[in-house]
Amino acid sequence: MNRHSRIITQPKDQGASQAMLYATDGVQSDADFEKAMVGVASVWYEGNPCNKHILGLGQDIKRSLTEADIIGYQFGTVGVSDGISMGTKGMAYSLQSRDLIADCVESAAGGHHLDGMVLSRLRQEYAWCAHGLLNRPGLMVYGGTIRPGSCEGAPQLDLVSAFQAYGKYLQDGRTEEAEKTRYNTVRHACLALVHVVMYTANTMASASEAMGMTLPGSSSFPATSPEKLEECASVGAAMRELLERDIKPRDILTRSAIENAIVLTMVLGGSTNAVLHLLAIAHAYGINLSIDDFQTVSDRTPFLADIKPSGKYVMEHVYQIGGIPKILHFLLKNKMIDGNNMTVTGRTLGENLDRWVHKHGELEFHNQDLIRPLNKPIKETGHLRILRGNLAPGGAVAKITGKEGLGFTGKARAFDNEEDFVHAVESGSIKKGEKTVVILRYLGPVGGPGMPEMLKPTSLIMGAGLGMDVACLTDGRFSGGRRLISVDAVKNTLELQVSDEELAKRRAAWKAPPLKVSQGTLYKYTKIVTDASRGCITDA
């Protein structure tokens, strides 16, 4: 099982390597040099409620490896909290940290000749790329979701509740009572871990389970549940099976596995970030995937899950009805996904799901309405739509659940930063009853830099009661200040209603603004990152 570590543990001319290893806690005797050495990558930061517990989970995983007669070495990487950095310049570091984390994992495993990897974190997609490049046996352990906060009889508060609270405060006239409500919402929204609903973390964790990269149930076990601890305790045996059979990530994460993940994302109403991350993962694994493939799957896949942020349930409720494996079994039973793919258990996805439902039962519809039956979907096609037009010739991703309508046309209002947009809402210049398309531009992978996520503006719009009057676009290149912008989620178009001649004239006159950074990690990122339609990869 020590296919890689033997390079430093066996040869007599590697005495320095061996001397260093004798000084670690992992090597207690000469016999230990015959064992596999596995890294436990823990993305941990105590200032982030999302992953402050990951260090402890990593310790549990390391003990499990020891019990399986495997030497485990835990190491950490930095992680950036979207929730904390959102709405500030700190958000520029979030997407960039995907590459930073992948580089850390690749460097630690490659530099120390580790035989395998266990990736323990909340945002697993950040380390997937290194996992594929190294292609050594390994698996992922999701840090887990947690119960939502609540206050004043308003249950199921989450991070978006905190963002929307300010918009509601403005809508309610900034009174003393409005301030009390705003404060209480912020104070109680995130009492513990904040990954409650179908944001990026839960979306990508569910996707990783659909792709066979986690043990069954990992994506829906709450962080503090007995099942999460049992999962960590079972990693050692699973890792030993992978090492003995030399089952590697590229044996598991295939084109079919990624398509399974896309189907599940559509069914669950997952984050638009899934497009960005799955494109990058496919690239790392040598799989040809484009944004058009997401539209193909969306056209044939119904949206079935009534989960926040677009619905009413949270991830804990998914756990209560039997978890992601029960949903996957339902999809397999209806021939919507492929059950023949290998997984980290050493069994196929279909075999894992059969075992799960034998123990937990199949998904039923008489006792829950979180997952709708196929004949009563929330929307007959997927919620993620790939739009094209003169505003997005390379493609754009829209999240259309059907509740907001399938088309929107309004007067364009362009902003070069979030602050100016927030001030426009505060001043009342964006009015209820006036159809407005807000464009937040120069915020892409290079211009942002780092393609910062825009949760603050969209939440502000919803909190201020403008949800049906305003459509938000980001990274637009032209202002269209006196023209209309039209979004059509049926024809999948995104058009600025001006002539081709006018657009050509604007392109000829347009000059790119200077970069917002001139040195450091973000500057390096701007020099190598590709556009979002290719996943914002940095090794193209």
Per-residue pLDDT, averaged over 277-303, amounts to: 95
Residues 516, 485: one domain? yes
What single DSSP character describes residue 91? Answer: G
The residues, ordered by sequence, that sit 6+ positions from 107 with a Cβ below 8 Å of its Cβ are none
Does a structural domain hold residue 21? Answer: no
The residues, ordered by sequence, that sit 6+ positions from 255 with a Cβ below 8 Å of its Cβ are 282, 287, 288, 289
Last residue of a domain, one of 137, 164, 189: 189
Last residue of a domain, one of 360, 380, 403: 360
Q: What's the Cα-to-Cα distance from 256 to each of 97, 396, 513, rounded to whole Å?
A: 28, 24, 42
* pLDDT given for residue 146 in this prediction: 65
Count how many residues are written for the chain: 540
Q: What are 498's two structure tokens? A: 């001006």
Q: Is 102 in contact with 108 (CB distance < 8 Å)?
A: no
Residues 233, 137: one domain? yes
Residues 153, 143: one domain? no
Last residue of a domain, one of 360, 380, 409: 360
HSE-CB for 507 with a 13 A CA cutoff: 9
Per-residue pLDDT, averaged over 17-35, amounts to: 95
Residues 287, 419: one domain? no
The 10s digit of each residue's pLDDT in 147-187 is 555 445 455 666 667 767 877 777 888 888 888 888 887 77
* pLDDT given for residue 474 in this prediction: 84
Residues 142, 222: one domain? yes
Q: Is 138 in contact with 131 (CB distance < 8 Å)?
A: yes
Residues 260, 119: one domain? yes
Counting runs of H as helices and runs of E as strands, what totals does the chain give?
21, 13
Per-residue pLDDT, averaged over 33-54, amounts to: 89
The rounded mean pLDDT for the chain is 88
Residues 443, 500: one domain? yes
* pLDDT given for residue 33 in this prediction: 96
Does a structural domain hold residue 381? Answer: no
Which residue from 458, 399, 526 is spatially nearest to 86, judged by alpha carbons?
458
Does a structural domain hold residue 56? Answer: yes
Does a structural domain hold residue 477? Answer: yes
List, by residue number, the catalytic residues. 479
Share of the chain above pLDDT 70, in %: 91
The 10s digit of each residue's pLDDT in 404-423 is 677 889 998 999 988 898 88
Residues 217, 333: one domain? yes
The 10s digit of each residue's pLDDT in 325-374 is 999 999 999 999 999 999 999 999 999 999 999 999 999 999 999 999 99
Does a structural domain hold residue 26? Answer: no
Number of domains in the chain: 3
Residues 398, 511: one domain? yes
* pLDDT given for residue 193 in this prediction: 45
The 10s digit of each residue's pLDDT in 306-318 is 998 778 888 889 9
Does a structural domain hold residue 20? Answer: no
Residues 256, 356: one domain? yes
More confident residue, 197 or 312: 312
Residues 95, 213: one domain? yes
Q: What three-state secondary structure class fits 252?
A: helix
DSSP string for residues in 189-214: HTSS----SSSHHHHHHHHHHHTT-B
Sign of the dihedral defined by the CA atoms of residues 367, 372, 378, 382, in that order: positive
Which residue from 513, 533, 508, 504 is spatially nearest to 390, judged by alpha carbons?
504
Residues 312, 459: one domain? no
Share of the chain above pLDDT 90, in %: 53
Give yes or no for residue 28 having a pLDDT over 60: yes
What are the DSSP E strand ranges found in 93-176? 116-121, 138-142, 149-151, 154-157
Per-residue pLDDT, averaged over 228-246, amounts to: 97
Beta bridge partners of 484: 411
Which residue from 18, 540, 39 is spatially nearest to 279, judged by alpha carbons?
540
The residues, ordered by sequence, that sit 6+ positions from 516 with a Cβ below 8 Å of its Cβ are 92, 447, 448, 449
Does a structural domain hold residue 29? Answer: no
* pLDDT given for residue 477 in this prediction: 35
Does a structural domain hold residue 182? Answer: yes
Beta bridge partners of 415: 440
Which uninterrupted H or E stretch holds 40? strand 37-43
Whether the full predicted model's pTM is greater than 0.85, yes or no, is yes
Give yes or no for residue 115 having a pLDDT over 90: yes
Range of the domain at 162: 149-189
The runs of H, that is alpha helices, within 309-388 are 315-320, 323-333, 349-360
The residues, ordered by sequence, that sit 6+ positions from 340 with a Cβ below 8 Å of its Cβ are 256, 348, 349, 350
The runs of H, that is alpha helices, within 334-440 are 349-360, 418-427
Per-residue pLDDT, averaged over 464-476, amounts to: 81
